[in-house]
């Protein structure tokens, strides 16, 4: 079983020794706006940890803007040049907020513009994943962070965001569904249920990523240690390939680093 720790450098530098000794065997290291701390990468790699770099895909308002394609290519080529073991792509889709409680709705969705009018969004995003796969050597594994929806229940997610998980499957090695159950107002059981769903689609390496504190940051943290433990147990149920904690920075913020370490080492 693989146990990932997401490190985002939210408060500046991160102590490499604390990360190395956390019990994680793999890292998801944020590389969204700048390269990660080379000292952390070097020490973690020397200690035998798998190095995964995480980044957003593009900055433009529309995924169909030709500039978005150029940005995706530049970003992937740069990440490859850093020689990670894994690359995790975030937000390789059309913009839209999905982190909502209660009814599954998408809001702040990118409306049709001159670039995407009459465009099948799923076709474009599927093509982008194929493009990214071909930019990455076979020695580097490709994964992505997935919005946790079931297309059969909410087809509007596929239509508006462009995520067609059945088709994307052919281009990736790994999938990490963002199962922040409290953020979307769901019971902890949704974690293992969604892993089962992805397994049914054909994914064979599934790493559910779970929250460590209540999000967004402006919320008081009512997420108990007991509930975090239950979320962890749901995350590692078969056919899961492991678990990822989002994030080490959050754990340290809320004094939950000890429990995260205990779970990583268990």
Q: Which helix (H) or strand (E) holds 7?
A: strand 2-7
pLDDT in tens, 117-164: 999 999 999 999 999 999 999 999 999 999 999 999 888 889 999 999
The model's pLDDT over 43-55, given as tens digits with 9 standing for 90+, comes to: 999 999 999 999 9
- Where do the structural domains in the chain lie, given as residue ranges? 2-265
Q: Could you tell me which residues come within 8 angstroms of residue 187 by beta carbon, excluding any fewer than 6 positions away?
A: 181
Q: What integer pLDDT is reported at residue 101 of this predicted model?
A: 67
Q: pLDDT value at position 44?
A: 98
Q: What is the DSSP letter of 89?
A: E
Q: Compute the distance between CA of residue 150 and CA of residue 156 in angstroms, rounded to an integer.
A: 10
Mean pLDDT in runs of 10 for the chain (266 residues)?
96 92 98 96 98 97 98 98 99 88 72 97 98 98 97 89 97 99 95 99 99 94 98 99 98 97 98
pLDDT of residue 12: 81
pTM for this one? 0.95
Look at residue 103 in the predicted model and tell me its pLDDT.
Answer: 59
Residue 154, Cβ density class (10 Å: 0-12 exposed, 13-18 middle, ≥19 buried): middle
CATH class assigned to 2-265: alpha beta
SS3 annotation, 136-154: CCCCCEEEEEECCCCCCCC
Residue 68 to residue 2: CA distance in whole angstroms: 33
């Amino acid at each position: 079983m693989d146990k990932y720790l997401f490190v985002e450098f939210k408060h500046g530098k991160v102590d490499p020794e604390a990360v190395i000794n956390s019990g994680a065997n793999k890292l998801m290291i944020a590389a969204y706006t700048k390269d990660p701390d080379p000292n952390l990468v070097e020490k973690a790699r020397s200690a035998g940890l798998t190095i995964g770099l995480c980044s957003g895909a593009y900055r433009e308002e529309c995924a169909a803007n030709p500039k978005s394609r150029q940005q995706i290519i530049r970003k992937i080529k740069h990440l490859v040049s850093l020689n990670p073991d894994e690359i995790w792509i975030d937000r390789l889709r059309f913009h839209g907020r999905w982190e909502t409680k209660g009814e599954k709705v998408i809001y702040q969705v990118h409306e049709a513009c001159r670039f995407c009018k009459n465009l099948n969004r799923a076709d474009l995003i599927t093509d982008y994943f194929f493009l990214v796969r071909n930019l990455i050597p076979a020695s580097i594994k490709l994964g992505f962070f997935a919005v946790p929806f079931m297309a059969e229940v909410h087809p509007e997610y596929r239509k508006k965001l462009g995520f067609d998980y059945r088709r994307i499957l052919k281009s990736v090695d790994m999938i990490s569904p963002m199962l922040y159950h409290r953020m979307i107002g769901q019971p902890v059981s949704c974690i293992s249920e969604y892993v089962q769903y992805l397994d049914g689609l054909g994914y064979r390496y599934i790493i559910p990523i779970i929250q460590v504190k209540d999000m967004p940051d402006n919320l008081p943290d009512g997420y108990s240690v007991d509930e975090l433990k239950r979320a962890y147990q749901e995350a590692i149920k078969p056919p899961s390939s492991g678990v990822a904690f989002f994030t080490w920075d959050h754990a340290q913020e809320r004094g939950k680093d000890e429990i995260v370490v205990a779970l990583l080492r268990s």
